[in-house]
Amino acid sequence: MKNLLALLLGCVLAFSSSVSAQITGIQNVPGAYPDLAAAFAALNAQGVGAGGATINVTAAQTCPVDGF
């Protein structure tokens, strides 16, 4: 029984280290992310948390030619 619990705890710890927090609040580009592509890649990978996320961009930012 101890071995099973140790194995279960090990699995939980191994998989929990790869979990990342969802994006929330106000994020700036550049700032939190170097460009729009990086911001959208993070949103696609991590998702948007409760309360939503706002991405502020400077006038110098443009969309990538090949899309996101």
- What confidence tens digit (pLDDT) does each residue in 2-59 have? 676 666 666 665 655 555 688 899 999 999 899 888 898 999 999 999 999 999 998 8
Contact between 36 and 29 (Cβ < 8 Å): yes
- Answering whether pTM is above 0.85, one says no
Contact between 22 and 49 (Cβ < 8 Å): yes
For position 14, what pLDDT does the model report? 61
Cα angle for residues 45, 62, 40 (degrees, 5° grid): 5
